[in-house]
Every structure is written in C-alpha cells, then in structure tokens.
Structure 1
Amino acid sequence: MSPPASRTLRAADLEALAVGLCLLGSGGAGDPQPFASVLRSQLGSGELVLHAPGGLGGASVVPVGMVGATSVFTEKLPHGGEFGAAVAATGRWTGAAPDAVMGIETAGLNGVTALVAALRLELPYVDADLAGRGLPRLDQLTWVTAQLPLTPCALAFPGGHTLLVDSASATEVERTIRAALAGTGGWAALALPPSPAALLDETACVGTLGRALELGRAHGSLRVLADAAEVAEVLGGEVLGEGRVHDVLRHSAGGGLQPESSVTVLDRNGPVLRIETENEFLMVLVDGEPRATVPDLICLLDRRTNRPLAVDALRRGDEVFVVVLPAPAWWLAPGRLDRVSPAAFAIDSPPLLLGGRP
C-alpha cells in the first residue's frame, strides 16, 4: 500500500517520533531529543504537513542534515542559522533557490533536523530521505546508488563559516567532510544539491518519517513488561534473543570501515548472541551462526522499559531484547543491496534478511 499523499505532525507526536527514529537508527544516528525539544517549541499548537513527493509536481527539493560526531553536538549547540546558511550556499552556486526541504537520513538525530530546518526556512517538508535507516557514510546514500551527484553541497559550521564542495565523487565528498570536521568543532549542517520532487520516488526512500511515526506509536501501545515475542510482533519484526549483556568490546575502527565493537549477550534460554557494530548494529550471530545483517534494522531494547538502546550506551549487565525489523524497501530492488550489505562494512557475510527477501 502506497503512503498517503500527506500527513501532519504535531507536538504531541514527537515522543512517538523520537522512539521510531531511534529504531530506524539501529543503535546509531544519534539522539533525536535535542532537536525534538527545539521542534516542540517551534510547532507550539500548530502542525507541520509531511508532503509526499508526488504531490509537489515540479518543486525543487534540497536534502539537509547534520554530519559529524553526534556526541559533540550537545556540547557545541547550534546558533540556529546553520541550515539556512548551507541551503543559501547551494542556492548561490546553482542559481536556484529550493522550494522544499527533505532529510538526508530519517533516523536518530537527523530524523528531526530537516523538520527544524523546514520550519526555520518556512519551506514545505517532503517525507523522503536518502537512507531510510541509520547509515554512517555519505557514499552509501540512495543518490550514490542511483548514480546521482552529491555536489555541489555546502557545509555550515557552528563557528559561522561555510564550505562549498563541487565536482567531487561521493567518496571524495565523504573524505573532504571528515577532514573538515576534524578541525572545525566536530559537526556541521549539510545541504546537498536540490532535486526535482518528481525524481524522488525512484531515487529516495519515500515515507520514512511516516514509518518512524508508525513504529513509535506501535511501541507506545506495548504493555508494561511486554515479552520479547510481543515486542517483535507489535513492531513488525522477529526476535533473535533476550538476555543479559555479558561483554562489550570496543576497539579503534581502522578508518571507519571496521566494526568498532562487538557485544555479547547471554540468552536466557542458552544460546550466545554476538552483535557486531560500527556506528550501528550490523550483524547478529547466534552460537556462531549469522542470523541477521544490515540493511535490516537490528535493535536492542531494554527488557524493562522496551526503549531502544544505542551502541555507545550499552553496558555489561544490561538486560535486553534483540529484535530485527525489515530493511527499507528501496534497498531491496535489484542492483542496490551491495552498497548497504555487510561487505560494505568490511564484514565477510552475505546479507541475511527477514523472510529471505528479496
């Protein structure tokens, strides 16, 4: 069933939205709450319309988001003009001001940043993005898979300066941004080149924010102390295990291409689960046998509260459910899976997806 032509977002929806965005983050993508508080204040008693791309005709849509270390963001807060500065820079370079805003990645923190940008810039928000879930690198976006350029793009830094990147491959954009962030405060607002709304049904994940809302609302319907099977059923996924975190091994990432940690969970029914991670949860092995991988959404939830847990928040002794949810459908079409498969994270395993899809 296709998503509705439009839906609305109100301040009362933001708690459910934040939970859904954490689930789509698959343990990564940052905490949406800092920007959710800003968004709640901006919305007040009003609402924001979430437009489907097909309803905007020939409108030009600019993807925006935050790049860099999400942990640094809470220490060096935005002054409020970063997204406007980045969008204005791409507009000056291309000679065309955008008609609407969309997200680069509708998961975690970036699931809210584009909403804040849309309200601040007084532009319509399009419910589409270039990832459909949490992804760590710009060279993994849907536009790259669809052979569309990421340039000209612009970065606006919290210090007030702006950097524009043009005529660069996706890999070069990723490297340039990483190098720039190292000396400029750790994060920046990013605006990619505008795209016709009519192209987004083929080149972007459509309806991701709607999916986050639905996941968050379903999560909110769970009873207190729901069991693992109930949690998985309500969220539309599958249980991989439940038990106690026995160990969390963290090590350097080798340039961001190697798993940064592995988490061992002792299942209450006997098996041992090992979860490989980078910024997100990437693969689950049960007694040494791979059971789930990216791009499906691997989620660890607190057994007492059902709240999704972040990779960097896991500690020994945590009681967790390990659940897997379906990957965004966009990635399952022919020729797309390799960019977000385990091999894209230097893990030697074929993709293992719910129900054997595609």
Structure 2
Amino acid sequence: MRIELPDVPALERGVAVLGSGGGGDTRIAGLLLRRRLAAGANVVVHALDEVPPQAYVVPVGVVGATPVFNEKLPGGQEFAAAVAAIERWTGTRAAAVASLEIGGLNGLLPLAWDLGLPVVDADLTGRGVPRLDQLSLNACGRPVTPAALAEPGGQVLVQATGFPADLERTVRAFLPSAGGWAALALAPLPVHELACCSVAGSVSAALRLGRRMLELGESPGPGPLAEATGGRVLALGRVIEVARRPGPRRHGRAGFSRGGVTVADHATGALLRLEMENEYLLALRDGRLVASTPDVLAVLDRRTVTPISGDAVRAGMEVIVLQVPIAAFWTDPGRIELVAPRAYGIDCDPVLLGGGR
C-alpha cells in the first residue's frame, strides 16, 4: 500500500480517533510526512504476509510528554540512533519497522521518518495506551527488553533486561533529563512472530477509518457517523463540565493526571460523563456504565468531526462522543485485562460495543 499526499489527512484523522483522546497532537508528524512525500519519497506500507517470514522488524515510537514534542522538535537523528543502538546490542539487522502505537502521533511517525527501512502494516496497541506494560507483546508473554532510547540531545540508553514495568520506570526516570521525550526502539522480531503478537493491519485500518470520516463532510448525523466508523454515538451535545485532578501514585511516583468530562445530550437531556487518564477510559450515562476501554472513546468537534484530546476539551464545546470497537486482538479473555478498566485502577468490568465483555 503506497501512501500518497492525498492520504495524509485521512491518516491523521484515523490515528487521532484511535488515540482515544490521547496519543499526542498529530500535526507535526503530519507535516513531516507531507514534506517527505512532497520531496518525492516512496512511502510504502507492507502487509505482514508481503515480508519474508524470517525478516526482522523493529517496533519504534516516541515516548514521553507529547506536547513537548511539538515545542522541542526532533532533529532527525533520534529514531535512527535508537534503531542503530538496538541493532548493535542484539546483533540483528532490521529489515523493516513497525509503529509502537497506532493511536495519535506514533501512528504517523514511522511513515514520516526516513530510516531507509520499509514500514509494516501492524502496531503493538491497536489504539492509544499510556504505558509500556500495555503493549501487545506483554499480552502474548513476550519480553519488551532489550530496548533503546535516544533523546534529542544525543544521549542513547539501552536497557538490556527487565520486566515491562521495569522498562516503564526506566523510561519515566530518563525522560526528565532528556527534555521530555525520546525515541524508543524495541528488539527486532521476526515477521512470523510479530504476526502473532501484534495488531495486524492497523495502519490500513486507520487510513480507512479516516477516509470514511472525511467523506461525511461537516456536521454529520449520528446515524451516518456510526455507520462510517462501525461504532455508535453515545452523546451529541454540549460539554458542561471538565474536571482534572492528579492521578493515583504508584511506587512512590506521581501517576498520570485524571479527569472527567460531562456532556449534556441535546436530544435526551441525559448526562454522559467520560472518565479519562491520558485517554478517555469510561462513559457513564446518568450514572450507568455504558462503554469502556479497550473500546476507543473519542470526543469529536460537532461541526468538523475533528477529534478533541483530553488535554484540549473545554466546557462550552459542542461535541459528539463516539465509541469505536477495539481490534479483535484485545477481545481475547487472556489479553483484555492489560487494557481493561482495572489496568487503570478502576474496579469494573469492560463494557464493549455490542455488550461484549
């Protein structure tokens, strides 16, 4: 699948929705991708079955405070440095790269950066997630180390061993000295193994989702929007309250910020409350749980249908709240707990589209 300039708006829209309110602003990554395509680059996304089974793929992405990424722009060497470090450490040459996370900024960056390697149509989340212990590798019992971090100032750090939670702690400790963000590369995986422990087809799925949403035009009705996305509209109304607070602390470290968004539905008068951490996690209608992670919950501008992040949502906005079903990978009972409400310290079962749990 070749990516052309007209595809970029659809890709931006698709990955922004899959960020579920998190994942970072896609504008800089979109600009980088446009510049690369305008310069004549051949950007191709390969299906996993188009790549030799024994070829090695390196998952890559940005970790840290994504708003800082827009202020402290990449110099161009960060991804290449992280990939080179993990190749040296493992003694394995990468044949391709994959996105660490399709939701938000990371859904575009492997395409926007010229690493001299093709990109495969898969990622390790299928949506936006806040932590490295929530990757599909973890759900399949595979290690996430060794891993390499490269920051804009030139520092490169390799963590050779450790559990997923150990890598998460290392990254959070490294980021303040790195200026807020860093490029991350995980150990190369052969394609035949990656196919079993990743969300296959996620790039093409994001592109299809974005195209369908853009084809709706402005101010679509709930029915056409639900049909175009394969989801359902939970509310169409005005944001009447946004509350933010510190999140729970773990291992003596501050947690991600938490918050809630209340939307008054114009048609029914019902109050829909969204609970959020980095991403939107739960939706309660008049106090009753009606949707939750791992399904994607998105808040969209009522007129433009542009996703609104948890950082940017404000009282007075006219919005549509959309629920989009998660990739089938996460509906497996042995995997869902990594991204279900209890993974965020919320004591309830997941409520998925169609009543699935």
Corresponding letter in the other structure for 1:99: A
CA distance in 2, matches of 1:217, 1:109: 18
Matches within 5 A, 1:49-64: 49-57=44-52, 58-64=54-60
- Displacement after TM superposition at 1:40 (Å): 1.2
Which secondary structure does the structure 2 equivalent of 1:291 belong to? Answer: strand
Q: Which amino acid aligns with 2:47?
A: A
Partner of residue 221 from structure 1, selected from 196, 203, 215:
215
> Structure 1 residue 71: deviation in Å?
0.6
Aligned counterpart for 2:246 among listed residues 238, 252, 261: 252
CA deviation digits over 1:230-285, x for unaligned, max 9? Answer: 21221111111111101100111233657610011111121111100001100000
Return closer, same or farther for 1:33/1:258 CA change in 2, 3 Å cut-off: closer
The runs of at least 4 aligned residues of structure 1 exceeding 4 Å deviation read 256-259
Q: Which residue of 2 aligns with 1:323?
A: 322
Q: Kindly indicate whether the alpha-carbon contact (under 8 Å) linking 1:258 and 1:346 is maintained by their aligned counterparts in 2.
A: no
Is 1:43–2:70 an aligned residue pair?
no
Q: Deviation of residue 34 (structure 1)?
A: 0.1
1:157-191 Cα deviation digits (max 9, x unpaired): 11111011011110000001001102220000000
Which of 254, 258, 261 aligns to 2:259? It is: 261
**8 A Cα contact 1:259 1:276, kept in partner:** no
The question of whether the paired residues in 2 share the 8 Å contact of 1:28 and 1:134 is answered with: yes
Cα RMSD, aligned residues only: 1.3
1:108 to 104, 111, 125: 104
Please list the CA deviations of residues 67-103 of structure 1 after superposition, one character each: whole Å capped at 9, or x if unmatched: 0000111111111000000001111111112111111
Q: Which amino acid aligns with 1:18?
A: E
Does the CA contact (< 8 Å) of 1:257 and 1:345 recur in 2? no
Structure 2 unaligned blocks of 5 or more:
none
Residue 4 of structure 1 aligns with which residue?
Answer: none
Q: Within 5 Å, which residues of 2 pair with 1:166-315?
A: 166-255=160-249, 260-268=258-266, 269-315=268-314
Matching residue's letter, 2:154: G
| Count of matched residue pairs | 350
TM-score by length of 2: 0.95
CA distance in 1, matches of 2:130, 2:5: 28
Residue 144, structure 1, aligned to residue 138, structure 2? yes
Partner Cα separation in structure 2 for residue 164 and residue 225 of structure 1: 48
Counterpart of 1:288 in structure 2: which amino acid?
G
Helix, strand or coil for the counterpart of 2:104? coil
What is the rounded CA distance, in whole Å, between the counterparts of 1:46 and 1:74 in structure 2?
23
Matches of 2:76 and 2:330, distance apart in 1: 34
Corresponding residue to 2:16 among 18, 22, 46: 22
Q: Any idea what the Cα deviations from partners look like across 1:189-236, whole Å, max 9, x if unmatched?
A: 000000001112210000111111001100111133212222122111
Conserved? CA contact 2:256–2:278, under 8 Å: no
8 Å contact kept, 2:218–2:304: yes
* Contact 2:101-2:125 within 8 A present in 1 as well: yes
Partner-residue secondary structure (3-state), 1:203: coil
Q: Is the 8 A contact 1:104 1:130 kept in 2?
A: yes
5+ unaligned residues in a row in structure 1: which ranges? 1-6
TM-score (norm 1): 0.95
